[in-house]
Structure 1
Amino acid sequence: MRILIIDDDEDLRNLLAHYIRQEWPKAEVDEFDPLARDVPDEQFPLGDYDLMILDYMLGRGDGLEWLHEFKKRIDCPPVLFLTGAGNEIIAVRAMKAGASDYQRKQELTRERLVNSIRDLTHDAAERTLSPELASRMEGHMLGERVRISGYRILRLIGEGGMSRVYLASRDRDDEPLVVKILRSEATADKNALARFMEEYSLVERIKSRHVARIHSHGVSEGHAYLVMEFFDGGDLNKRLGGRASAPHEALRIFRELMFALGDIHECGILHRDLKPQNLMFRSDGSLAIVDFGIAKHIDAIDRTGHGEIVGTPRYMSPEQVRGMALDLRTDIYSSGVLLYQMLTGKHLFDGDTAVEVALQHLNTPPPAMSDELSVYQRLLDKLLEKDRDARFRNADEVIGFLARKFQQA
């Protein structure tokens, strides 16, 4: 395998080359310094390379302009485009110009680089595809098949049980958006299709800045889709990075979550699956809840029969684990689990299996807070009551408690 790295930062070029040689000791890696050389002309042997890694900022040059020139050539290899944080529109333009993938330099780890290279080169040394790679390839092909007027699907960025999620752009202004497409195997399932479209129906009722905006929905090439807001601030998992937040920041996010739940609950909707992946942030730091795939209108909650368990084990309320009919207080409990994680950097409960984790919500008292966090103990105790009758009844009660006890937070 032969790879070309074009970047004006010598340290970054060396680091990328080091990562590549660690994974593929026989790989040939050529470094190209745009500060010392102009854009390669037609005599430059692009076709000799299996992959090009191209930075956006090239000192005197513009990576997008170089990309346009490269893609005019029939021998141009796949291009992995590097951008800075907050440059989602640049990433979108690079994908539209022909880049095969992109990575933010601030988030580029050895694992992410290797995975991108492997996906783009289909690593000839691997005679069989891993299930993960096969799934990603299937997802890319689905994104290429589905056509949505006014939008362009660029790349697969996530997968769920029923759907795949893609980065897309709006034709008129290159605005980055997200397209959620129902999986092929779920499209034929009438119940799955109904649940997928119910997500749009539920979110449409909520007029709140704390909920992801849906721009469009419909069916294309036999696949149901939703076009949604893109969040360049990432999710709560990314924000935490496996660590605790500063207490004042954790409380700020938690307070915003309560405003969000207040707006949702006022419309009679239970989310039922609050977790870090479903709390997204805009570039200004504001929070929005996403993924209403298993949400329910409270009037329809009886249709979720007793004994049906929904949610994510780490964040389930005791009544969810028991398969009971749910009300607003189930989301209150899950938000308490999230607050505990933000304050401590740890999960409320851990275990070797999902069942082991879920059962602790029924029987195990939450760990006591450390001395420096003891001021939050009473709040967490009331959020995480096993008996929902002893819990805060709704988000407004929590907001009132915060106003009384944490006025300066």
Structure 2
Amino acid sequence: MKVLLKSVPNLDLVIPGHAILDKIGEGGMSTVYLARQESLQRKVAVKVIRTRNLSDERVLDRFVNEAKTIARLDHPNIISIYEVNQLDTGIAYYTMPYLPHGDLSQLMSFDTRQLVNLFIQICNGLSFAHDHGVVHRDLKPENLLFDDFGNIIIADFGIALSTHDKRRTLESDILGSSHYMSPEQVQRRTVDLRSDIYAIGSILYEKLTGESLFEEGDDLSVLFSQVNQPVPILPEGLNNWQRIIDTCLAKNPNNRYQNADELASALLEIEQGGQSIIIKSKSHKKWYKKPWFNWSVKTILLAAVGFSGYSLYKINQSGQEYVDMIAQTTPAIVALPVEKPVVEEKPENELLQANPLEMEMPAITAEEMRDQQVLNLIIDANKDLKSLRLTRPLNDNAASKYRQVLALKPDNPQAISGLNQIAASYLELLNQAWDENNRENLIKFTDSLREFNQQNAPVVDATPFNERMDTIMQLIAQSVTADIEAHKVTPESHDLIALGQQLSLDAVALAGFTRQLESVPRVGQLFTDADGHDSIYITPDLIRNSGLDFFNVSVTEVKVADYNRYAETQTAPEHNCFHMGKQRRLSKRTWKKPPIEQNPTHPIICITAQDAQGYANWISEQSGQRYRLPTKQEWLYLQQVSSSSSGCGQHNLAGTETQSLKKLKTKRLDCSDSHIYTSNVGALPANKYGVHDLNGNVSEWVLNCQSNSKNCNQFVAMGTSWISGAETNPTQPLDISPDQAHSHVGFRLVRDIYPD
């Protein structure tokens, strides 16, 4: 899991040439970090696409498109780009100036001159962007930053439209911020620069009044108002701004300012004392707050817009359905009668004497009461959803309230949408835990979401969750397959299988993955073939860049008893054996009659390299396996992973026990191993993998080919033996001919696990 669950931690992100200092912002698509650019020792902002979005081609394209869009817009009132890059890890990012002086949303106090100046700067930046074919589409106070000199800088072009790029948004997507979206954005009609004009008008209204243009409580209600509600009338004292507000916020784009320069000119008239527009109105109260708007009328209106519990998330999932609903409900609301009811006038004293309990109250039907209850539950549930009170506390959370709605109206679309949003929120939390490698939260949110889906089936679509679990199973399968193909088992595979078990994934499949891993040999694992030959599994990647394949090496050198069995069925040549460098001419000493004492468990000696290869061929035929001599590279590898010490007293080398051998010309070790000549194979300790006698006892014949060992017929003797002293180099080949037989040279075998 260490590799496969790797993500971008808050402060462990590595951006070449930059030191990450802090995380300063986060959105649905990306995260912004504060960093220090090392080359210039300046602080910069680094915008990085979120890890889980790297596999979403649309999101990655949108991120790259944003960088390209900003890079084309070189203007004092538009954020600039320092660097754009995508790392080998797949992480995409770009760097830009760090602007720590806040944004327009934080500006609470200003005079007319200051306000006009700031909005003219916004117009100047937008005019430049529009002239270069770019529509921002997401203007809001938080995207209007202040630089060191108090100037406005337009930022966040993440959903901008550009004539230089192909459209990257699905036709059903509604992108932007609900309080600043133009009607054509809401209805997914053609969007151009005049949508940005509408957004400026919304921001300007907010700065003038201290209130949002429409305060409807939830996103969809705000969007509904953007399409249907009239432009509000400004309070007294702000009448001279009304013409600008009305023109910017015209529902029809043709009735707005047609470019940012026109708006800038209108703003200059305000600063220069242009003529005010006098609005004749008895009240600035919004129409739905007037006294005559009684409770029953409210109920009918609220029922008409009851679908407002939908969130922007759900709109993006079914945009056409939303537009159809807008089209269907708009005429009903426009035509709704709201005249002030006629009340029969009575003398004041009669009104005072009337018994309140006897006064006639508006008639309320059971259906209206149920609609009101549903609406109240939807509003409360939406608030809980925003504050992530998803399923806790018990009976006072978003899920419980949406279920109450469905108990009253089983097909209520807002409740169904809300429950699916809860599932989406849990999935987001689950994905975040995965990205952060937080196993505890991953398990917790997986269990919660699985239980939630089961409790709310079939209303909640469990497909996204099931697909996420399938993805984790695919990662486990990929890791196990990679281990099997590499013939080794990594800790990551076992860790992922354990995680799958903790997440209650497919137990049968996980058990199958475990069995597959168990079939992969482990380094040091002992294998015994049908004829009883033991060998140890060796993993060459224990030494980096060894260039070797996996193989099994015999636990000991071939014994006299093993070679005798071969000689009983085959013609085994006998060669006159060299003993301590000398050979008797008259009296032959062969492997059958060696010059030293031998028993059946000693290593075979006095054979040539060709004799050893003949034995390997015979064993291969007998066992059905491929046996051969080790290559020189394999033997050196085995020697490297064995003990590198002199082995005084631990290996059968020439020590004080050989003092009687006057013809032995070597510098003896200062200790004794009790064996003057050869010893029983395996008599002395094995190395850490269980292989005996790689140092001492006898040197060994090996293949001396650089590449494929299958048809190799070149040989060399390697290693130390019972005649080797303190100064013998175990990695240097012996200066003897492979056609000669010596009393200190034997051999061991290798069995290919994965033969060519």
TM > 0.5 between the two? yes
AA aligned to 1:362 is: V
Aligned residue for 2:93? 225
- Which residue does the alignment assign to 1:69? none
Residue 152 (structure 1) aligned with residue 4 (structure 2): no
1:179 to 20, 36, 46: 46
- For 2:238, what is the secondary structure of its paired residue? helix
The Cα offsets for residues 25-69 of structure 1, whole Å up to 9 and x where unpaired, read as xxxxxxxxxxxxxxxxxxxxxxxxxxxxxxxxxxxxxxxxxxxxx
Distance 1:197 1:301, change over 3 A: closer
8 Å contact from structure 1 (residues 203, 292) kept in 2: yes
Distance change (3 Å), C-alpha of 1:283 and 1:408: farther
User: Which consecutive residues of structure 2, in runs of 5 or more, have no partner in the other structure?
Assistant: 275-756
Structure 2 residue 45 is matched with structure 1 residue 164: no
Sort the Cα spacing of 1:381 and 1:139 in 2 relative to 1 into closer, same or farther, 3 A.
farther
For residues 180 and 6 of structure 2, what CA distance do their matches in structure 1 show?
28
Provide the C-alpha distance between the structure 1 equivalents of 2:7 and 2:208, rounded to a whole number of angstroms.
Answer: 38
Secondary structure at 1:352 match in 2? coil
> Partners of 2:45 and 2:167 in 1: how far apart?
32
Aligned equivalent of 1:103: none
Matches within 5 A, 1:119-268: 142-220=9-87, 221-240=89-108, 245-268=110-133
Shift of 1:301: 7.4
1:347 correspondence with 2:212:
yes
Write the deviation string for residues 326-372 of structure 1: whole angstroms up to 9, x where unpaired.
01100000000011111111111111210001111111112211121
Is the Cα contact below 8 Å between 2:248 and 2:256 reproduced in 1? yes
Counterpart in the other structure of 2:225: 360
- The DSSP-based 3-state class of the residue aligned with 1:324 is coil
Contact 2:161–2:167 (8 Å) recurs in 1: no
In structure 1, what is the Cα distance between the partners aligned to 2:46 and 2:167?
31
With over 3 angstroms needed to count, the CA separation of the structure-2 counterparts of 1:185 and 1:259, relative to structure 1, is same
Residue identity opposite 2:48 in structure 1: I
The answer on whether the counterparts of 1:258 and 1:395 sit within 8 Å (CA) in structure 2 is yes
Kept after mapping to 2: 8 A contact 1:245/1:345: no
How many percent of aligned residue pairs carry the same amino acid? 35
Does 1:273 find its partner at 2:138? yes
Contact 2:62 2:168 in 1 (8 A): no
- Which one has a larger percent strand, Structure 1 or Structure 2? 1
The AA in structure 2 aligned to 1:354 is: D
Greater C-alpha Rg: 2
Alpha-carbon separation, structure 2, partners of 1:290 and 1:167? 16
Question: How far did residue 304 of structure 1 move?
Answer: 4.3
Query: Which amino acid counterpart does residue 101 of structure 2 have in structure 1?
Result: G
8 Å CA contact retained: 1:195, 1:293:
yes
Could you tell me whether the CA contact under 8 Å between 1:302 and 1:325 is conserved in 2?
no
SS at match of 1:288: strand
With over 3 angstroms needed to count, the CA separation of the structure-2 counterparts of 1:302 and 1:176, relative to structure 1, is closer
Contact 2:67 2:94 in 1 (8 A): yes
Cα distance in structure 1, aligned partners of 2:163 and 2:250? 21
Q: What letter matches 1:258 in structure 2?
A: C
Query: What SS does structure 2 have at the residue aligned with 1:372?
Result: coil
Q: Deviations over 1:128-174 (max 9, x none)?
A: xxxxxxxxxx9995344432222111111110011011111111343
Secondary structure in structure 1 of the residue aligned to 2:83: strand
Structure 1 distance, partners of 2:39, 2:205, is 43
- The number of aligned residues is 269
RCO higher in 1 or 2 (8 Å CA, sep ≥ 6)? 1
User: For 1:349 and 1:386, how far apart are their aligned partners in 2?
Assistant: 14
The residue type equivalent to 1:315 in the other structure is: Y
Q: 1:346 to 1:230 in 2, by over 3 A?
A: same
Q: Aligned pair in 2 of structure 1 residues 179, 303: CA closer, same or farther (>3 Å)?
A: closer
CA distance in structure 2 between the aligned counterparts of 1:311 and 1:201, rounded to whole angstroms: 20
Structure 1 gaps of 5+ residues are 1-137
Runs of 4+ in 1 over 6 A off after TM superposition: none
Which amino acid is the alignment partner of residue 252 of structure 2?
Answer: D
Offset of residue 213 of structure 1: 1.2
Tell me how far apart the structure 1 counterparts of residues 179 and 38 of structure 2 sit (CA, whole Å).
40
**What is the RMSD of the two structures over their aligned residues, measured on CA atoms?**
2.2
Partner Cα distance (1:407, 1:279) in 2: 25
- 1:145/1:231 Cα in 2 relative to 1: closer, same or farther (>3 Å)? same
Correspondences of 1:6-405 after superposition (within 5 Å): 142-220=9-87, 221-240=89-108, 245-298=110-163, 304=169, 306-405=171-270
Instruction: Decide whether the 8 Å contact of 1:280 with 1:290 is kept in 2.
Output: yes
CA distance in 1, matches of 2:45, 2:212: 29
Report the counterpart of residue 62 of structure 1 in structure 2: none
Q: Give TM-score, length-normalised by structure 1.
A: 0.62
**Equivalent-residue separation in structure 2 for 1:260 and 1:187 (angstroms):** 31
* Residues 140, 156 of structure 1: 8 Å contact kept: no
Say if 1:164 and 1:182, in contact at 8 Å, map to a contact too: yes
Supply the distance in 1 between the matched residues of 2:99 and 2:53 (Cα, whole angstroms): 26
Q: 1:168, 1:179 within 8 Å by CA — same for their partners in 2?
A: yes
- Contact 2:141-2:203 at 8 Å conserved across structures: yes
Please tell me the residue identity of whatever aligns with 1:201. K
Tell whether the 8 Å contact from 1:329 to 1:394 is kept in structure 2 after alignment: yes
Cα distance 1:235–1:168, how it changes in 2: closer, same or farther (>3 A)? same
Q: TM-score, normalised by structure 2?
A: 0.34
Structure 1 residues 370 and 144, CA gap change in structure 2 (3 angstroms)? closer
Instruction: Classify 1:140/1:190 alpha carbon distance in 2 versus 1 (closer, same or farther; 3 Å).
Output: closer
Structure 1, 287-296 or 298-307: larger mean CA deviation: 298-307
8 Å Cα contact 2:12/2:20 also seen in 1: no
